[in-house]
Structure 1
Amino acid sequence: MADPAARARELALLFTSWPSVTGTADEAAFPERLHEYLTGFDAARVAAIPDDPFGRSTFFALKRGRSRRTIVLTGHFDTVTTGDYGALQPLALDSGRLAPALIADLRRSGENALALADLEGGDFLPGRGLLDMKAGLAAGLAAMEAYDGEASLLFLAVPDEEERSAGARAAIPQLKQAAATYELDIALVINLDSISDQGDGSTGRIVTYGSIGKQLLCAHVEGKPAHAGYPQDGVNAAYVMAELVRAIELSPRLSEETGQEKAAPPATLFAKDGKQGYNVTTPSSAFAYWNTMQHRQSGADVLLIARELAATAIADAEARTGHRIALHMAADFPKPKLATDHTLSLPDQSRLAFQRIVEENGIKGPAVILGFASIPYPAVMLREGPVRAAISAAVRAHGLAEVNYFAGISDMSFFGEAAGDLAPVAANTPIWGSGFTMPEAGGYPCINIGPWGRDYHTKLERLHAPYAFDTLPRVLLSVIEAVSKVG
């Protein structure tokens, strides 16, 4: 059996050399390449994602132990584009050649002294997707190959984490079917995603017992257009939206704290009126959406708070304009009839869906309609109990810190034990069931243990190699062994 550290390095660099940008033919081909390369498992299969416009698949590999108790090792293999590397783009997937080229660039430009020191020191390796997150997949496979214990291990690699989590959403029913087919009792899902740490690694060498949630809150404003010479005759949709943005942006009511961990407050990602050209008529409509992040708040909680914030904004707008402005929820109306265009982003599909709601229901302005504009990422958390206690002891022995929430949204939201009912979210998301579908919740105990590094999604994406290759496989083996012995 190969040394896990050497194997983790070998696989990480190999997987990085295989291009897999989200939404490309390379991404679609990646699972078959895994299937052809990896051997020695009791079962392995590529499972197609139904109705996927890119023809993508997930990849499963099973190593059966002496019991049905099973730990799943999972992560995504898609990456963001390599276009940001500029002239170095041909080297983006070749860490060995990219490192000296980046060092030369950084020496010449004098920019980013930390990146230069990291790369010159030799402990950090660059490459698109090496950190996010092919080194995590490699460590999981290296640990899986080295493991010889009671538990069964199931490796699961998915596409499309970077855009719509189509891979993880499709993998949930596939995973449940695999568990039934191979008679597996899933005790834990370990997500292998990467952690960003701009310091000494102390905040990167962690286990997270949950993942932060995300809801893309949105609002459509239907105004009452008027000539700009007589603006008081109508209600400017752009102005009403400005009041909504002012009320919601950075609102502490939509920002939670758990101990020392704080969820980011809401941020406006898009706000635009519906005008297509110049004239002196005030905008008749506007659309905006906000990134909101949760620890314990459910979708229903987010809607309730957003409605209260919107009511305050509307009251201010009414006082200034002298017009009454109605406040609706998307769930107040039937879901619109849509011809889904998968070339559009989900928020863009939602913008059109809200316009269709206005048309199909004869809504006259001024009015505001609140809802959601994309896939929900429920917050998940591993409950206190024997499994969490066993994990805690195992990781502390390797010097890892323990954190409640993975700070960036992740596929854990679909595998884990989500808090709150998604029915209110579904009812207030007009493209639910057309733009996307949601699986039944995974409901598995789920944690994240992955590599750490810096600046992913940029050309300076780099992996801390000693931790990823030497420490991480040993940590995973310890956690697997500890969980295999719980009750």
Structure 2
Amino acid sequence: MNRDIRGSGNMKGNWNSKEKLIHLLGELTEVESVVGTSKEVEMGEKIEELVGQIEYFKAHPEAVCRIPIKDDHWNRFSVTAVYEGNPDDSSAYVLLSHFDVVGVDDFGQYKDLAFDHHRYTKQLEQLEDLSEDAAADLATGEWLFGRGVMDMKAGLAVQLAVMSDAIENRKPINLILLATPDEERNSEGMLAAVEWLAELKQTKGYDQMVGICSEPSFTSFPGDQSKYVYTGSVGKMLPLVCAVGLETHVGEPLAGVNASWMISEVVSEMELSDRFYEQSGEEIVPPPTVLRLADLKYEYNVQTPTFAYATFNILTYTKTVQDVLDEVNEVVSDSATKINQRLSDRYQTYKVKRQHPAVSVYTYGELKERGTALYGESFTAQLESISKRVYQNGGDTRDVTIALAKEVGDYFVDLAPFYLVMLAPPFYPSVRLEEKNADEAALLHEVGELQKWTEETFGENISRMHYFPGLSDVSYGKMDKDLKVKQTLEREMPALSNGYDLPITAIQSLQMATVNIGPYGKDAHKRTERLHLPFFTDVTPCMLMKFIDQMIKK
């Protein structure tokens, strides 16, 4: 890390050696900041303490502040630290990271070691059930294992070190450190911070804010050994498909339609479906997968289930919200057709003389409009009371969405059997740098220059990808100003502005383009999560500093 960087000089900041940077990582990872716990508060306090060690912030404590998550059960907050190295510059650069991690149940009997990366790495040397790749990496002595070392406290450590160095070297650049909680769940930390960033942009008169995220490189396929910079991030939607069945006794299954059968047909059609295929260059969006599948029958009896549901993870590159909803509706309609055909066949086989019930498909927006027209204020008041009750009982926005779907289904039980299609939170817009935008084209050029410099300086071949595949807070840096996005979300996502706050106006005002320059690791969210130490200590900080220098000179 004390390697001479062209135009930068040696590191002068608080964490100016490999040993200090690794120690800093240890300080960050030892805080068990599992998402959705009070430990995220402790992590925020730890970051404040570390930022306070930088001389500039000792002299300017007002430049460090908290951005609280509104009405949060744990009182969690994002941490920001603003360094105005060039008040006359109309640009500012946001060093973006998240400090929460996923849980450690996958560590089994070694859960107590998950946040002590040195002891955990040592313990793994005694195990014989590691994958071939993990065992090979462990044997090199160049990898550090443990929860959070890769995703993404290594990136946060590098950003703290580089910001400290930029300040010590009095670099003429405006830097904003932004470290958020809750990225692994709902991105509530970033959603709260977006409004703060948009206000800061206006207050300071910045023409442009550029995000520099330091999420780690993710493998693009099994066995991938490449290192990447990313110039965007994949989008995500969480469609909820509900099946409202027609009840019957199990002794008369043809007299009704089983909701569990209905939803299983949709799951079979949706899982890994190529209907949602998108390609950008050599990048292909991962196919959809089911995230939750259940019915709402809580006790045993011989009545068939009347309500079942499934949520699906759908990732996007360029497809709009409406595009995805249309495709989901096509899948659901195909499922309805298959069920109707099977019912017809079985009625013939079992010589049933009457017409079988036909499965239909509705969107949430359609039935809500119908309910409002039929029942007026009593209908909307009932939906509001359902939402309040679920939240009071500790439910989240997805629980509220399911409860509202069930309530709407109950109002229209006379239409059963039918499918109900809607959206649950969260929603991540897909983002990427575009050549057609002059400012973003300039950033793409600088990323290309950084790739060349890194190969010349370190012999490291860094590939560029349009989309970070692991979901990221950078999705909330900018959003298309097309009103149709907002209108579709308001119509089909009942939790929007009902426990789930998506600051669309602030995001559209911010319009923050983002690049991702981070460390290299493997197996995020697994017990073999690990970080490549030489790239973390020797290369990543230099790449980040070089990019900052390029921004100063551009």
Which residue number corresponds to residue 446 of structure 2? 390
Equivalent residue for 2:156, pick from 137, 141, 145: 137
User: Structure 1 counterpart of 2:333, which letter?
Assistant: A
Q: In structure 2, how many angstroms separate the alpha carbons of the residues matched to 1:83 and 1:68?
A: 47
Which residue number corresponds to residue 220 of structure 1? 242
User: Structure 2 counterpart of 1:278, which letter?
Assistant: Y
Distance of aligned partners of 1:87 and 1:239 in 2 relative to their CA distance in 1, 3 Å threshold:
closer
Deviates more, 1:245-254 or 1:415-424: 415-424
1:188-222 deviations in Å (ceiling 9; x for gaps): 1011112234888742x211111111111111111
3-state SS in 2 of match to 1:132: coil
Q: In structure 2, how many angstroms separate the alpha carbons of the residues matched to 1:273 and 1:90?
A: 35
Q: Does structure 2 conserve the Cα–Cα contact (< 8 Å) formed by 1:255 and 1:266?
A: no
3-state SS in 2 of match to 1:469: helix
Q: Does structure 2 conserve the Cα–Cα contact (< 8 Å) formed by 1:70 and 1:188?
A: yes
Distance of aligned partners of 1:183 and 1:419 in 2 relative to their CA distance in 1, 3 Å threshold:
closer
Q: Does structure 1 conserve the Cα–Cα contact (< 8 Å) formed by 2:428 and 2:475?
A: yes
Which residue number corresponds to residue 284 of structure 1? 306
Q: In structure 2, how many angstroms separate the alpha carbons of the residues matched to 1:134 and 1:179?
A: 27
Deviates more, 1:277-286 or 1:208-217: 277-286
3-state SS in 1 of match to 2:152: helix
Equivalent residue for 1:428, pick from 485, 492, 495: 492
Which residue number corresponds to residue 480 of structure 1? 548
2:485 matches 1:466: no
Equivalent residue for 1:351, pick from 399, 402, 410: 402
Q: Does structure 2 conserve the Cα–Cα contact (< 8 Å) formed by 1:391 and 1:482?
A: no
User: Structure 2 counterpart of 1:423, which letter?
Assistant: Q
Q: CA deviation at 1:144?
A: 1.5
Which residue number corresponds to residue 459 of structure 2? none
1:91-240 counterparts in 2 under 5 A? 91-104=113-126, 106=127, 109-147=128-166, 148-197=170-219, 202-203=225-226, 205-240=227-262
Distance of aligned partners of 1:177 and 1:387 in 2 relative to their CA distance in 1, 3 Å threshold:
same
Equivalent residue for 2:35, pick from 16, 19, 22: 22
Q: In structure 1, how many angstroms separate the alpha carbons of the residues matched to 2:481 and 2:268?
A: 29
Q: Does structure 2 conserve the Cα–Cα contact (< 8 Å) formed by 1:8 and 1:135?
A: no
Q: Does structure 2 conserve the Cα–Cα contact (< 8 Å) formed by 1:328 and 1:367?
A: yes
Q: In structure 1, how many angstroms separate the alpha carbons of the residues matched to 2:514 and 2:425?
A: 23
Q: Does structure 2 conserve the Cα–Cα contact (< 8 Å) formed by 1:450 and 1:472?
A: yes
| Structure number with higher helix proportion | 2
Q: In structure 1, how many angstroms separate the alpha carbons of the residues matched to 2:308 and 2:79?
A: 42
1:312-350 deviations in Å (ceiling 9; x for gaps): 221222222232222111111157322142733433332
Which residue number corresponds to residue 4 of structure 2? none
Which residue number corresponds to residue 21 of structure 2? 8
Q: Does structure 1 conserve the Cα–Cα contact (< 8 Å) formed by 2:67 and 2:192?
A: no
Q: In structure 2, how many angstroms separate the alpha carbons of the residues matched to 1:341 and 1:237?
A: 26
3-state SS in 2 of match to 1:130: coil
Q: Does structure 2 conserve the Cα–Cα contact (< 8 Å) formed by 1:221 and 1:287?
A: yes
Equivalent residue for 2:420, pick from 365, 369, 384: 369
Equivalent residue for 2:72, pick from 30, 40, 52: 52
Q: Which runs of 5+ in 1 are unaligned?
A: none
Distance of aligned partners of 1:233 and 1:89 in 2 relative to their CA distance in 1, 3 Å threshold:
closer
Q: Does structure 1 conserve the Cα–Cα contact (< 8 Å) formed by 2:201 and 2:209?
A: no
Q: In structure 2, how many angstroms separate the alpha carbons of the residues matched to 1:121 and 1:286?
A: 50
Equivalent residue for 2:515, pick from 440, 443, 447: 447
Q: In structure 1, how many angstroms separate the alpha carbons of the residues matched to 2:491 and 2:312?
A: 18
Q: In structure 2, how many angstroms separate the alpha carbons of the residues matched to 1:314 and 1:363?
A: 17
Distance of aligned partners of 1:185 and 1:395 in 2 relative to their CA distance in 1, 3 Å threshold:
farther
1:356-405 deviations in Å (ceiling 9; x for gaps): 22234565311111011221111111112112212221233213210011
Distance of aligned partners of 1:5 and 1:329 in 2 relative to their CA distance in 1, 3 Å threshold:
farther
1:242-284 deviations in Å (ceiling 9; x for gaps): 2222332222121211121111112122232332233322221
3-state SS in 1 of match to 2:125: helix
Q: Does structure 2 conserve the Cα–Cα contact (< 8 Å) formed by 1:268 and 1:290?
A: yes
Which residue number corresponds to residue 365 of structure 2? 331
Which residue number corresponds to residue 31 of structure 1? 44
User: Structure 1 counterpart of 2:134, which letter?
Assistant: A
Q: Does structure 1 conserve the Cα–Cα contact (< 8 Å) formed by 2:31 and 2:43?
A: yes
Taking only the aligned residue pairs, the percentage that are identical comes to: 29
Q: Does structure 1 conserve the Cα–Cα contact (< 8 Å) formed by 2:238 and 2:314?
A: yes
Q: In structure 2, how many angstroms separate the alpha carbons of the residues matched to 1:70 and 1:190?
A: 11
Provide the aligned length of Structure 1 versus Structure 2: 482
Deviates more, 1:137-146 or 1:157-166: 137-146
3-state SS in 2 of match to 1:245: helix
Which residue number corresponds to residue 377 of structure 2? none
User: Structure 2 counterpart of 1:20, which letter?
Assistant: S
Q: CA deviation at 1:230?
A: 2.2
2:378 matches 1:318: no
Which residue number corresponds to residue 409 of structure 1? 471
Q: CA deviation at 1:449?
A: 1.6
Q: In structure 2, how many angstroms separate the alpha carbons of the residues matched to 1:318 and 1:113?
A: 48
3-state SS in 2 of match to 1:137: helix
Deviates more, 1:132-141 or 1:427-436: 427-436
1:15-42 deviations in Å (ceiling 9; x for gaps): 1122211122221122222222323235
User: Structure 2 counterpart of 1:131, which letter?
Assistant: M
Q: Which runs of 5+ in 2 are unaligned?
A: 1-11, 344-355, 370-379, 436-440, 456-461
Q: Does structure 1 conserve the Cα–Cα contact (< 8 Å) formed by 2:292 and 2:312?
A: yes
Q: Does structure 1 conserve the Cα–Cα contact (< 8 Å) formed by 2:218 and 2:469?
A: no
3-state SS in 2 of match to 1:313: helix
Q: In structure 2, how many angstroms separate the alpha carbons of the residues matched to 1:88 and 1:218?
A: 36
Q: TM-score, normalised by structure 1?
A: 0.92
3-state SS in 1 of match to 2:292: strand
Q: Does structure 1 conserve the Cα–Cα contact (< 8 Å) formed by 2:216 and 2:521?
A: yes
Q: Does structure 2 conserve the Cα–Cα contact (< 8 Å) formed by 1:222 and 1:285?
A: yes
